[in-house]
Structures are given as C-alpha cells and as structure tokens.
Amino acid sequence: MSTPNILLTRIDNRLIHGQVGVTWANSLGANLVVVANDEAANDPVQQSLMDMVMSDGVQTRYFTLQKTIDVIHKAAERQKIFIVCKTPQDVLTLVKGNVPIKFVNVGNMHFSEGKTQVHKTISVDKSDIDTFRELEKRGIPCEVRRVPDEAGENIANLLK
C-alpha cells in the first residue's frame, strides 16, 4: 500500500474558507482538499459554500472521520492532499486510525465557554491541551500559523 501524499493537516473550526481555500492550497501546491468532518460530510449546503471559495484545479472531498481513515491509503500518488479538520480531537482520531499525519497547522479554534485564549486565533480547554500533548508525544508537531507567510509557533510553547 502506498503512503498517501499528505502535504499538511490543518485545524480550523471554520473548515474551508477563503483564506484556506486559496492561500493555503496554493502555497502548498495541493490539488485535493479533504475535509474530514462528520457534520460537513453530511451537509451538502455547507459543502457547496466551501467549494465556492476553492481555487480552480483543486478538488474537494467531504468525508467523515471514519471514511477518511478507510480511504486515505487508496489515494493516488499524484494527489497532493491537504486535510482540514475542525478540532485537535478529530486529528487525533485520524492519527489513531493510521492516517499518516506528520505535521499539524493550527489555524483557528474559536473562543467559547470554558476555553482560554492562548493566541489571537486559538482558544483551548483541558481536552484540547491534552490532545495537543498526545499528538506531540506521538511525534507530531503542532504549529500555530494563520497564513503561510507568517512565522509559525509551536503550540506547546503556548500551553505551558
């Protein structure tokens, strides 16, 4: 079985929006964006809104977490994949399902009740912190970076 060519995995609670659809996909040279999210996978309206902001020539797939785990290893070599998840817990689910994620870009995690803001665009609770620590233990660096030309910062530095 060949290893899927995953360029980057991003956590963004908005999933695909203009910034991600265009800036990240272009800078990575991705030709396939996989949105791994159970709700989006079952929401055609949300999918068509996300498709509208994608660059030409970049395909999108909306898979549940389980389907992503089931099909990622069937990806063709020419598919340069950019995975977008909503939460660190979803990323960890994929990792535990043997999706070969090597690096995580942390984009947006909105503030909500019970969360603490640790960066302009990142708010976390205990479960998020535990999940980031688990990803790090598994040798997967998680870097806060909103746009490609911004300097990244390891999330571990923000969680101390």
Question: Which residues are tagged catalytic?
Answer: 17
**Which helix (H) or strand (E) is 5 found in, with range?**
none
CB 79 within 8 A of CB 33: no
Query: What six digits make up the tokens of 57?
Result: 């020539």
CB 155 within 8 A of CB 124: no
CB 9 within 8 A of CB 103: yes
Buried b (16+ CB within 10 A) or exposed e, 116-152: eebbebbbbeeebbebbebbbeeebebbbbbeeeeee
